[in-house]
Structure 1
Amino acid sequence: MKIILLSGGSGKRLWPLSNDARSKQFLRLLTAPDGTKESMIQRVVRQIQAAGLTDDIVIATGTNQKDSIENQLGDSITVVTEPCRRDTFPAIMLACSYLAGQGTPMDEPVIVMPCDSYTDTGYFTAIATMAGAVCEGLADMVLMGVQPTYPSSKYGYIVPDRDSQCVGHAAMPVRRFTEKPDVPTAERLIAQGALWNGGVFAFRLGYLMAITETVKPHADFAALRKGYGDLPKISFDYAVVEKAASVAVVSYSGQWKDLGTWNTLTDELDVHTYGNVHEESTDNTYIINELELPVVCIGTKDLVIAASPDGILVSERKLSENLKHLVDGIGKRPMYEERRWGEYRVIDFIDFPDGFCALTKQLLIKPGCSISYQRHSLRDETWTIIDGMGEIVVEGERRPVKRGDVISIPHGQLHAIRAITALTLIEVQHGSELEEGDIERFEYRW
């Protein structure tokens, strides 16, 4: 079995902790079995491996999330990046094309699932059942249907043919689909035994590769990725599932939540405060502080308070779902990012009247990790090492660095830095244009 995890979105409903660079699945707020904090994507990967489904996981994502994934999961998980945003159908085609290029047999079952569902162990038992249905040839496409707990207009519905359940198997043929109905229609569908569409798909690799051939004939992974921008921008449900000749569904009735709002996320937090927080006489108030500055809270009730380098949120928990439209367009530059080598946060940005700009960041580089060998055309940089030991290379010349060292890097100079111990430095970028895209990377072997 191969598993493809879909990782996308910006998760603005969890602002200010989530942004375009750090989506909700990367927030380390959940508690792992060993008591440490883990993110949604770390939790799902841990659950997959604990269930014994497979260690062969591919994550389909955008280029802007690759560093966060590698930072949290290491290099044991394969990451397939989209060159540009399309939709779930192109993303799944690209990931399957990668699997085919790696020699995966065409009859291998492939599971496609979200990377951020909050579920219990029964969810992964249902996934194993789905893979079994594919192996037995019960349907071209097998879906997960979640047992509804209330008539919701937020989900699509799957109406199974319960009278024609596959003999000796939990899979049921699908009679029809209904896309996000109103509440009265949802009530009628539930009375007919309909299930929520859980967004999990199972099929043989060869089935999807045959469809890919009709979209992009004779295209291998490299060719598909090169022409990715020309692929149709359409969801997998519309492009494949609703056109499949035979579709079955496996029912799941356990825990299934989308922790995409502060209201739903705080329901699953086992503590009410994170970070530098001082509170007194609070009731059902959650305070998450990523800043060094203290947050002091007295006598509040039913609030969520979140502080990060991107901003500060104070909201009634139930009204926090209305957050997205308020923060659209706020702070286009992410103030905090995880990278494969560590993390950085923006400390200050100044745009002077004469057009000169200065951007100050604090970087934390993990031991043994390095920033790529690179140069910039439009900006100069100054690095000040404030803790740890490492090595820098500038125009091919290497030397050690330690606390107190200052390195000036004019624009056009090739440079990189590697951490021997955990390395903290202050980077000041200065010039007339300070863009993240002003970077040219080269290979360098340490």
Structure 2
Amino acid sequence: MSNNNRVIPVILCGGAGTRLWPLSRKNFPKPFLKLGAESLIAQTVRRAAAVVKAVGSEDILLVSNESYQFLLQDECTPVLNSEGGNIALHQLLEPQGRNTAPAIALAALWAQTKYPNEDPVLLVLPADHLINPVPTFVQVAQNAVAAARKGWLTCFGIAPTAPETGFGYIQQGAPVDELNGAFAVQRFVEKPKLELAMEYLASGQYVWNGGMFALRTGDVLQALTQNEPAVALQAQTVWAGAKETKNAKSTGSAFAFNKDEFAKLPDISIDYAVMEKASNVAVVAASFQWSDIGSWAALSEQFSADSKGNSLQQEGTGQLISIDSSNTHVRLGNRAVAMLGVENLLIVDTPDALLVADKSRHQDVKKVVETLKAQGSELVNFHPTVHRPWGTYTVLEDSSGYKIKRIEVKPGAALSLQMHHHRSEHWIVVSGTAEVTNGENVFLVRKNESTYIPAGNRHRLVNPGVLNLVMIEVQSGDYLEEDDIVRFDDVYGRA
């Protein structure tokens, strides 16, 4: 492949999505939320794959917290399989979040290592935006890549449709690449007050900062060295210590980093580190439909409203009863929700948390998360359903001395060989077949059968079948938290 054709989509899977609580949580954040048939990250990978196929490239790179490694593989691998084209999925696994400048620096160093005689263009994409239609996105991305190949650090500028105060703005200057619709960036503007946002909209000179970039590898590393050398130097140190790790479901690579060295990376965005300081910054107009789904108000706009302005997000079997209510968005789970004489509300029902908020306060949902965090509540971190490399478990009941879980294990997957000091477990198979190791014995447990694991016994659960294994687990003991696990062997490297 000619180095003029190499484009590597870099998908940034960070951010807590606190304004979309209680659906978005630390261990299952916004990119994994489904909007339609696929999650936001799956949709982003599908768009990235379309660009890769259009330019004849072959790699997609995900940058995320290390705890999302296998969850991302589960979301993204089926997308790439359905797209075809032998696209390799690679991962950079961060031990903690350090913002977009370090993430992009490490992505650039990864690309230089993989393709030392080339100067690939990184197409930097957030994992949690909603963009349509895909062919228009592919064309705009190619325009941005073309400008990047001419030495421009290129942003995507979204044509504003309202005086939005929640976005940053870019003022366009003179054309620098008319063939590809690129303009010099005159200045970046932080989230403005309403009066100023109205002026920007009326002037026609400003676009929203879409948080997407096309950056030639050498150019972005040089810009970091010139404008934020602490990021560039520490990124080199971190990359030098990178270790390739298990990437069970992908044909690509995965790299983990030294936690102490990674923590020394400055916490700074690419906007502050480079784009607002460099002189060779351009913006390409994006003509596609775009939303960052940054709040419940933004998400509610994706659902059609009835004659009274009410919109419904049906996610379960629940029923909505609406009487004399208007301009309200409801996210339904499996319970009935009744509205009587209310207006301008956001109602979000999940199995363990209910959000009721005034629509005008949609940006303040993060204050709820801050309050819960100060209280030490696990509602910030976990849903009742927790994702693991082997499948999921859902806490059905948690009380003093016992806990009941629904466990679902993917075909061919295995839990670690483990032991608990403080709890015993009863396993009842609901569907599928379980291969159980209990002490020195290995045996099968089939549908409607059960087994008992005493405290202190080494045990392992494997799904030997081709369908999901579903079990009910009843734990009993004086301590039932997840840290009472001693792992002896684990196919996912957690032992």
Structure 1 CA distance, aligned partners of 2:264 and 2:173? 38
Counterpart of 1:326 in structure 2 is 368
Cα displacement (A) at 1:316: 5.0
Structure 1 CA distance, aligned partners of 2:292 and 2:199? 24
Match of residue 345, structure 1, among 366, 373, 394: 394
Structure 2 CA distance, aligned partners of 1:95 and 1:360? 42
Counterpart of 2:42 in structure 1 is 42
Alpha carbons 2:172, 2:186 under 8 Å: kept:
yes
Counterpart of 1:222 in structure 2 is 242
Quick check: 1:90 aligned with 2:102? yes
Cα displacement (A) at 1:177: 1.9
Q: Which letter does structure 2 place at the counterpart of 1:166? A: D
Counterpart of 1:432 in structure 2 is 479
Structure 2 CA distance, aligned partners of 1:285 and 1:167? 44
* Farther off after superposition, 228-237 or 10-19: 10-19
Structure 1 CA distance, aligned partners of 2:367 and 2:424? 37
**Given the superposition, is the C-alpha separation of residues 409 and 416 from structure 1 closer, same or farther in structure 2, using an over 3 Å criterion?**
farther
Measured against aligned partners, the alpha-carbon deviations of 1:126-148 in whole angstroms (never above 9, x if no partner) come to 1111111122x242x11111122
Match of residue 400, structure 1, among 440, 444, 448: 444
* Secondary structure of the corresponding residue to residue 177 of structure 2: coil
Alignment of 1:53-132 (within 5 A): 53=54, 56-74=59-77, 77-103=89-115, 105-121=117-133, 122-132=136-146
Alignment of 1:253-264 (within 5 A): 253-264=287-298
* Secondary structure of the corresponding residue to residue 437 of structure 2: strand
* Secondary structure of the corresponding residue to residue 319 of structure 2: strand
Alpha carbons 1:40, 1:117 under 8 Å: kept:
yes
Counterpart of 1:231 in structure 2 is 265
Structure 2 CA distance, aligned partners of 1:101 and 1:208? 15
Match of residue 17, structure 1, among 17, 23, 26: 23
Q: Which letter does structure 2 place at the counterpart of 1:73? A: C
Alignment of 1:185-200 (within 5 A): 185-190=196-201, 191=203, 193-200=205-212
Measured against aligned partners, the alpha-carbon deviations of 1:119-164 in whole angstroms (never above 9, x if no partner) come to 22333321111111122x242x1111112223333222222222x4
Match of residue 462, structure 2, among 403, 417, 421: 417
**Given the superposition, is the C-alpha separation of residues 206 and 428 from structure 1 closer, same or farther in structure 2, using an over 3 Å criterion?**
farther
**Given the superposition, is the C-alpha separation of residues 80 and 380 from structure 1 closer, same or farther in structure 2, using an over 3 Å criterion?**
farther
Structure 2 CA distance, aligned partners of 1:346 and 1:359? 7
Alpha carbons 2:332, 2:348 under 8 Å: kept:
yes
Structure 2 CA distance, aligned partners of 1:154 and 1:444? 44
CA RMSD of aligned residues (A): 3.1
* Farther off after superposition, 232-241 or 276-285: 276-285
Measured against aligned partners, the alpha-carbon deviations of 1:182-213 in whole angstroms (never above 9, x if no partner) come to 33333444426122211112112233455465
**Given the superposition, is the C-alpha separation of residues 151 and 280 from structure 1 closer, same or farther in structure 2, using an over 3 Å criterion?**
closer
Structure 1 CA distance, aligned partners of 2:235 and 2:290? 36
Q: Which letter does structure 1 place at the counterpart of 2:182? A: A
* Farther off after superposition, 209-218 or 221-230: 209-218
Structure 2 CA distance, aligned partners of 1:215 and 1:329? 34
Structure 1 CA distance, aligned partners of 2:187 and 2:337? 53
Match of residue 388, structure 1, among 432, 436, 439: 432
Cα displacement (A) at 1:250: 0.6
* Secondary structure of the corresponding residue to residue 11 of structure 2: strand
* Farther off after superposition, 99-108 or 200-209: 99-108
* Secondary structure of the corresponding residue to residue 23 of structure 2: coil
Counterpart of 1:168 in structure 2 is 179
Alignment of 1:126-141 (within 5 A): 126-135=140-149, 137-139=150-152, 141=153
Identity between Structure 1 and Structure 2 (%): 28
Cα displacement (A) at 1:243: 3.1
Alpha carbons 1:366, 1:419 under 8 Å: kept:
no
Task: Give me the TM-score of the superposition, normalised by structure 1.
Answer: 0.84
Counterpart of 2:353 in structure 1 is 311
Measured against aligned partners, the alpha-carbon deviations of 1:84-117 in whole angstroms (never above 9, x if no partner) come to 1221122222333333343465411111111111
Alpha carbons 1:138, 1:166 under 8 Å: kept:
no
Structure 1 CA distance, aligned partners of 2:11 and 2:427? 37
**Structure 2 gaps, min length 5:** 1-6, 81-88, 226-230, 244-255, 305-311
* Secondary structure of the corresponding residue to residue 463 of structure 2: strand
Structure 2 CA distance, aligned partners of 1:343 and 1:69? 14
Match of residue 250, structure 1, among 284, 293, 297: 284
* Secondary structure of the corresponding residue to residue 124 of structure 1: helix
Structure 1 CA distance, aligned partners of 2:473 and 2:162? 52
Q: Which letter does structure 2 place at the counterpart of 1:47? A: R
Alpha carbons 1:277, 1:289 under 8 Å: kept:
yes
* Farther off after superposition, 232-241 or 208-217: 208-217
* Secondary structure of the corresponding residue to residue 74 of structure 1: helix
**Given the superposition, is the C-alpha separation of residues 44 and 203 from structure 1 closer, same or farther in structure 2, using an over 3 Å criterion?**
same
Alpha carbons 2:234, 2:264 under 8 Å: kept:
no
Q: How many residue pairs align between the two structures?
A: 429
Deviation >6 Å, runs of 4+: none
Counterpart of 2:385 in structure 1 is 336
Task: Give me the TM-score of the superposition, normalised by structure 2.
Answer: 0.76
Structure 2 CA distance, aligned partners of 1:99 and 1:373? 37
**Structure 1 gaps, min length 5:** 32-36, 352-356
